[in-house]
């Protein structure tokens, strides 16, 4: 076995443009909006492009939830240990996804212990319901989106109740000051600003507040991006705005143990 240090920097050579993962796996596509974080959803924009290109899985558009059992076996074909983001183009715990199909996804996860799977949802209550009577695979990381105080923070207690080895928060897009966070039982926090034509700005003090709380509580902190608005309040490409916070790149990630 080998382990990446919990406090070290994890450098990824990825086929995904998402900075904190390596590969995406989408056995489900499509979603519907539930909170302000969904307003300018990147997946919805991308799905429109994929639909126009005739890409399988997007024929019915983004608002239609499509179960794609033909994609279930994809991770089994990859022997190299990989960090997978599950359903970057959907929400695994969407109300219309049957628990029976989620069971099939979990069976693949359990059956491929060489991989690590990141599962992120805005439907924390349904994820809590699902795992109330099921064991979380050791190689599955469970996370919830926390974009604001009204919708995002109430998801955290539902996540904390689940018996998972690794729990994380995706504070992206960060839309306001979150105030005090209860990080008990949380191993990892990702923070990022919004990108895109209609992106809303993120302010430095909001991100610093989350970062400082993480460091105080010994929680790994990952700063993904400024997005379309820079630290100076000016709009430019997210590449030009960069990923540094207080002059530093924050790439902390929980220890990754792979058989």
pLDDT band, residue 148 (cuts 50/70/90): very high
Residue 13 has pLDDT above 80, yes or no: no
pLDDT digits (tens, 9 = 90+) for 15-61: 677 888 999 999 999 999 999 999 999 888 888 888 888 888 888 88
**Domains detected in the chain:** 2-258 (3.20.20)
Count CB neighbours of 81 within 10 A: 17
How far apart CA 176 and CA 96 sit, in angstroms, is: 30
pLDDT digits (tens, 9 = 90+) for 59-97: 888 889 999 999 999 999 999 999 999 999 999 999 999
Task: Name the pTM for this structure.
Answer: 0.90
Q: Is 70 left (phi over 0), alpha (psi -120 to 50) or beta?
A: alpha
């Amino acid at each position: 076995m080998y382990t990446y240090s919990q406090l070290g920097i994890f450098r990824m050579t990825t086929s995904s443009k998402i900075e904190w993962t390596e590969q995406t796996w989408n056995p489900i596509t499509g979603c519907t909006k539930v909170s302000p974080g969904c307003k300018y959803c990147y997946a919805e924009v991308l799905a429109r492009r994929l639909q126009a290109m005739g890409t399988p899985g997007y024929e019915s558009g983004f608002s239609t939830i499509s179960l794609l059992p033909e994609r279930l076996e994809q991770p089994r074909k990859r022997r190299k240990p990989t960090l997978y983001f599950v359903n970057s183009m959907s929400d695994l715990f969407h109300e219309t996804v049957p628990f029976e199909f989620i069971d099939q996804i979990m069976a693949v996860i359990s059956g491929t212990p060489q991989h690590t799977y990141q599962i992120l949802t805005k439907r924390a209550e349904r994820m809590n319901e699902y795992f109330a009577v099921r064991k979380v695979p050791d190689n599955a990381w469970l996370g919830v989106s926390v974009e604001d105080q009204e919708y995002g923070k109430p998801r955290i207690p539902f996540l904390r109740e689940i018996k998972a080895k690794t729990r994380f928060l995706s504070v992206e897009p960060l839309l306001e000051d979150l105030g005090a966070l209860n990080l008990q039982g949380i191993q990892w926090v990702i923070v990022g600003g919004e990108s895109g034509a209609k992106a809303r700005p993120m302010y430095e003090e909001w991100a610093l507040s989350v970062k400082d709380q993480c460091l105080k509580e010994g929680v790994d902190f990952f700063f993904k991006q400024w997005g379309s608005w820079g630290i100076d309040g000016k709009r430019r490409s997210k590449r030009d705005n960069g990923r540094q916070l207080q002059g530093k790149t924050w790439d902390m990630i929980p220890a990754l143990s792979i058989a």
